Homo-oligomer: A and B are copies of this chain.
Amino acid sequence: MRQQRVTSFDVAALAGVSQSTVSRALTGDTVVSDGTRTRVLEAARQLNYHVDENAARLRTGKTGTLAVVVICRPGEQRKDVNPFYYSLLGSICAAASARGFETLVSFQDTEESLWGLYEEQRKADGLIIIGSTANRPAWDYFRSLRDSGAQLVCWGSPFDDFDWVRSDNHEGARIATGHLIERGYRRIAYLGTEQSPQRQFKERYQGYGERMREAGLEPRLVEIDERLSRDEQGRKAIRDLAGAGWPVDAAFAACDEIALGALEELRQLGRSVPDEFGLIGFDGNRAGAYASPPLSSIEPDFQSAGTMLVDKLLGLINDDPVEPLRVPVRLLERESTRRN
């Protein structure tokens, strides 16, 4: 279909200049005269010429590309990846594009599939790692890469010594807890765990506890079982509360997936939400909007999240380090907390 490749030499011939001048004109070198540049651009247009990026990259050593790795739970089908990470992925690609970078995306789960030698193969200038904190071997692998010099930033790492970007979990938890208090709930539980590899859970628990004590209320932790699926974690937490004779009338769940499980169990137990029980989650999952009743949540600003991750990585690459960053969050008030 396509013929012999058009090169900068062809453009040079048509424009009546040397090949080096074509290159200068096209890369935007200000040294070339306006007349020359115009002629070159016109010739390139006529020949439908486009720079072969492989040659350019080989020469410059820059790829103009960022690798994005989404860490999945082992064996998880790609359609079942937490939609939170898909939203984050979309925002990262958009932010990279806005900065003039391409994004090379891969999903990785099992140890055999772990691979991150993008810089070594000169496929990318740096890596953004996002995804399930639970896949420890994956995070260990990328930590070892980082230790051997990879330019790498992440979201969701269980490690603190990474270059990370995170939701403002503390503030989000305060907002969620404060919202339940405002709505008149007093006996408010936290569905989560104190000792989680998921740092964000710890931060949310702290924000919750702090806000409770400020209001003169007693924090109450309903410990989840991390070996269960998120959904089951939420269901079991609610069953535990029912078994204890409903010692609380509201809950802040560590994440939406736990909250959605909890909501389902509340419905099955006939506990009316929000009248008898208030519930709020964290993450702003789209599915929460379709739940019954629609689930209130704390949503991070995804657009900022993408931009922060990309800018942090570019800072690393350009040796111009950026502090760890917190993504602002906001209350998504829906029916599950809307008690009069």
Chain B residue, CB-CB nearest to A48: B120
What residues of chain B lie closer than 8 Å to A267, measured between beta carbons? 292
Contact partner, A52, options B78, B89, B121, B288, Cβ 8 Å: B121
A27-48 CB contacts (< 8 Å) to partner B = 48
User: What is the bound-complex CA distance between A104 and B65, given in angstroms?
Assistant: 9
Interface check A133, CB cutoff 8 A: no
User: In the complex, what distance in Å separates the CA atom of A97 from the CA atom of B72?
Assistant: 15
How many angstroms from the CA of A9 to the CA of B61 in the assembled complex?
Answer: 18
| A184 at interface by CB-CB < 8 Å | no
A106 touches B93 (CB 8 A): yes
Within 8 Å of chain B (Cβ to Cβ): is A229? no
Let me know if B105 and A91 touch, CB within 8 A: no
- The count of identical subunits is 2
Given contacts A104-B102, A292-B291, contact A302 B58 (CB under 8 A): no
Instruction: Report whether A78 and B105 are in contact in the complex, using a CB–CB cutoff of 8 Å.
Output: no
Q: How far is the CB of A338 from chain B (nearest CB, A)?
A: 14
Contact indicator B78/A93 (Cβ below 8 Å): yes
**Identity of the chain B residue whose Cβ is nearest the Cβ of A117 in the assembled complex:** B50
Task: Fill in one digit per residue for A48-61: 1 if any B CB lies within 8 Å of its CB, else 0.
Answer: 10111111011000
- Indicate if the CB atoms of B78 and A302 lie closer than 8 Å: yes
Across the interface, which residues of B come within 8 angstroms of A52, CB to CB? 58, 121-122
> Contact at A122–B302, with CB atoms within 8 Å?
no
CA distance A291 to B90 in the complex (A): 24
- Within residues 287 to 315 of chain A, which ones have a CB less than 8 A from any CB in chain B? 287-293, 302-303, 306
* Binding stretch for chain B, among A12-20, A80-88, A166-174, A235-243: A80-88
How far is the CB of A329 from the nearest CB of chain B, in Å? Answer: 13
In this assembly, does A213 line the interface, its C-beta being within 8 Å of a C-beta of chain B?
no
CA distance A337 to B81 in the complex (A): 26
Is A159 positioned at the interface, with any CB of B under 8 Å from its CB? no
Residues of chain A whose beta carbon lies under 8 Å from any beta carbon of chain B: 1-2, 48, 50-55, 57-58, 63, 65, 68, 70, 77-81, 83, 86-87, 89-91, 93-94, 97, 102-107, 113, 117, 119-123, 149, 260, 263-264, 267, 286-293, 302-303, 306
7 further A-B contacts with Cβ under 8 Å, apart from A52-B121, A54-B122, are: A53-B123, A78-B87, A79-B303, A103-B104, A103-B105, A104-B104, A287-B287
6 smallest A-B Cβ distances: which pairs?
A292-B292, A78-B90, A79-B87, A50-B120, A86-B86, A287-B287
